Amino acid sequence: MNTDRFRIISPNDLEDYREQAGNLSDVCWPEFMLHDPIANVNWHELFDRFEAYQFAMLDTETDRMAAMGNSLPFYWDESLEELPELGWDWVFLKAVECHQNDITPNIQSAIQIAIHPDYQNQGLSMMMVKAMGAIGKSQGFQHLVAPVRPNQKSKYPLISIDDYITWKTEAGLPFDAWLRVHVRAGARIIKPCHEAMTIRGSRTEWESWAGMKFPQTGEYNIPGALNPMEMNIEKDEGIYVEPNVWMVHDI
Amino acid sequence: MDGARHMSGDRFQVITSSMHREYRNLVRGLTRIVWPEFMLHDPVANENWHELLERFADFQFALYDSEMGRVAGMGNSFPLRWEEPLENLPDDGWDWAFTEAVKNHKQGVMPNIHCAIQIIIHPDYRSQGLSAPIIQAVRAVTKAQGLRTLIIPIRPSEKSHYPLTGMDDYITWKTDDELPFDAWLRAHVRLGARIIKVCHQSKTIRGTRAEWEVWTKMKFPQSGSYIIPGALNPIEMDVEKNEGVYVEPNVWIVHEMNWL
């Protein structure tokens, strides 16, 4: 594909940036993933506090957003091996807290790279990872960390994330396509973060999110989820705990 | 033959392999279109499939679309002998029934019951109200053969969305109007069928790791349970033994017909 047609843009470069970004989220993610309370309460902070870390890839032939990237800076002075189990939810809150307290950040974390389904399998993911690292580099950071969502794990919900990340292709690269993109871009796997996102909903909410029924308490496999969801009928609550994988790029 | 009469003069007609010369050509390939690939690797089915037309031609039928000159659905069944209460029907439902029917026929045992092992609608004809007509067609075969009892080790197809729920629990799930949650079970119950019980090992499908990888387009790098698209339960892969085993649970149901 002709990569010249794509251009990295900032939120200010496109009048309907937020609207196109919202549409992109809707088509890229299974519905339940849009109900992480940490994400929903804090999403605006990305644009209010960390605008320089948000970007998109514009298809200049159609003026459509082909992909978007979201990241943020935070402060971390411990070893990367100590990054918390609460991966995604934690790093979002941490970055906001650092910013509120005027703590100078020293590291960048990815929050999302989403490629529109019409533009998948065309090499955009690698370009997006590199574009994100370029932002951290321009800020003088040495590391870009990422709580990566290995999305092919959704076909293997009964395999633990610890086992899954050891799976390799014949070339010795990670089995999972997203992990592989990061590794090809120079990243290494640090470790899983087993509770990267926690999504709770009533039975009715989960039924509408998943297009399924949950007549009894127990584990359910939800399309697009990386692990089974636990439904508790008496408490009228289903809980999905998403495992991700901490990775790091030296930039 | 209420099912057949219901549709006679209509667009869809019930034909059987013994009455229609072209039956074999008309239904060719339908099974392959309808099922996930791994379902085509049950050894009991593959060893015995030819017996259906050779021994039980009157029991193989199809729903023929007379406007289009093609088949909209098909059913495969046979007679067998069963003298115990239906509650005692075996746990290896589908595989048992097929083997038993062939054995009975070889030994000249007089059958007293009708058993259907496959009732399918072509994907092009789904959601067009044909499940009732095709169930009526299999009931009509029961009557035409002078039998009163039709049993089916049924595959509740929507169970594939709930592979982590036990089949014994799944069959208790109801819609708001107290009918079975599963659409295929519901279609039978609406026409008078009753659920007998689960047959937990209705089919057993074994393959090497490489075979399962081809059948499912997935990878199985380690031993463990895997959810497979279209399977009603997870499969168990044993990498050291180089064997994956899928045990399919079905549900014994019965249509009792007091037609005399």
Which CATH superfamily does the domain covering A3-194+245-250 fall into? Gcn5-related N-acetyltransferase (GNAT) (3.40.630.30)
Predicted pLDDT at B6: 44
Which residues of chain A does B218 touch, with a Cβ-Cβ cutoff of 8 Å? 155-156
Which of A118-156 are b and which e, b meaning 16 or more Cβ less than 10 Å from the residue's Cβ?
ebeeeebbebbbebbbebbeeeebebbbbbbbbbbbbbb
Contact yes or no for B164 and A212 at CB 8 A = no
Testing the interface with A: which of B169, B213, B219 to mutate, by most A Cβ within 10 A?
B219
Predicted pLDDT at B59: 96
Go through the domains of chain B in sequence order and give each one's CATH number: 2-204+249-256 (3.40.630.30), 207-244 (no CATH)
Q: Is the pLDDT of residue B79 over 60?
A: yes
Which residue from B minimizes the CA distance to A222? B161
Predicted pLDDT at B19: 85
pLDDT tens, residue order, chain A (251 aa): 566 899 999 999 999 999 999 999 999 999 999 999 999 999 999 999 999 999 999 999 999 999 999 999 999 999 999 999 999 999 999 999 999 999 999 999 999 999 999 999 889 999 999 999 999 999 999 999 999 999 999 999 999 999 999 999 999 999 999 999 999 999 999 999 999 999 999 999 999 999 999 999 999 999 999 999 999 999 999 999 999 999 999 98
Residue A185 CA to residue A125 CA, distance in Å, equals 10
Q: For chain A, what's the residue count? A: 251
Residue B239 CA to residue B241 CA, distance in Å, equals 5
B199: closest CA of chain A, how far (Å): 21
Q: Sign (positive/negative) of CA torsion B107, B112, B118, B124?
A: positive
CA angle A70, A73, A76 (to 5 degrees): 135
Structural contact between residues A33 and A111, judged by C-beta atoms closer than 8 angstroms: no
User: Taking the mean position of all CA atoms in its chain, how far away is CA B79?
Assistant: 14
Size of interface A-B (CB pairs under 8 A): 42
Q: How many other CB atoms are there within 10 angstroms of residue B234's CB atom?
A: 18
Q: Could you give the 3-state DSSP secondary structure of residue B177?
A: coil
In chain B, the N- to C-terminal Cα span, in Å, equals 12
Contact yes or no for A221 and B163 at CB 8 A = yes
Residue A216 at interface with chain B, using a CB cutoff of 8 Å = yes
- Assign 3-state DSSP to chain A and report helix, strand, coil percentages, each to 5: 40, 30, 30
Which residue from B minimizes the CA distance to A215? B173
Which residues of chain A does B221 touch, with a Cβ-Cβ cutoff of 8 Å? 167, 175
Report CA-CA distances (Å) from B163 to B201, B228, B235. 15, 9, 10
Nearest by Cα to A22 from A88, A91, A112, A93 = A112
Reported as half-sphere exposure (CB side, CA atoms, 13 A), residue B79 has a value of 22
CA angle A29, A32, A38 (to 5 degrees): 95
Residue A42 CA to residue A75 CA, distance in Å, equals 18
**DSSP state letter for A139:** T
Cross-strand pairs, A20? none
Which residues of chain A does B234 touch, with a Cβ-Cβ cutoff of 8 Å? 158
Cross-strand pairs, A233? none
Q: How confident is the model over B154-190, as pLDDT tens digits? A: 999 999 999 999 999 999 999 999 999 999 999 999 9
Contact yes or no for B165 and A220 at CB 8 A = yes
Domain ranges of chain A: 3-194+245-250
Which residue from A minimizes the CA distance to B223? A159
- DSSP H helices, A29-102, are 37-49, 87-100
A26: closest CA of chain B, how far (Å): 23
Q: Is the pLDDT of residue B4 over 60?
A: no
B6: closest CA of chain A, how far (Å): 35
Which residue from A minimizes the CA distance to B174? A215
Which residue from A minimizes the CA distance to B226? A158
Residue A229 CA to residue A245 CA, distance in Å, equals 19
Reported as half-sphere exposure (CB side, CA atoms, 13 A), residue B27 has a value of 23
Quote the percentage of chain B above a pLDDT of 90.
Answer: 87
Quick one: average pLDDT of B119-134? 94
Residue A189 at interface with chain B, using a CB cutoff of 8 Å = no
Comparing CB atoms, the residue among B165, B174, B221 nearest residue A218 is B165
**DSSP state letter for A164:** H
Q: How many other CB atoms are there within 10 angstroms of residue B84's CB atom?
A: 8
Q: Could you give the 3-state DSSP secondary structure of residue A17?
A: helix
ipTM of the complex: 0.91
Helix (H) or strand (E) holding B209: helix B209-216
Predicted pLDDT at A4: 83
A156: closest CA of chain B, how far (Å): 7
Residue B71 CA to residue B242 CA, distance in Å, equals 40
Q: How confident is the model over B31-47, as pLDDT tens digits? A: 999 999 999 999 999 99
Which residues of chain A does B169 touch, with a Cβ-Cβ cutoff of 8 Å? 216
Contact yes or no for B169 and A219 at CB 8 A = no
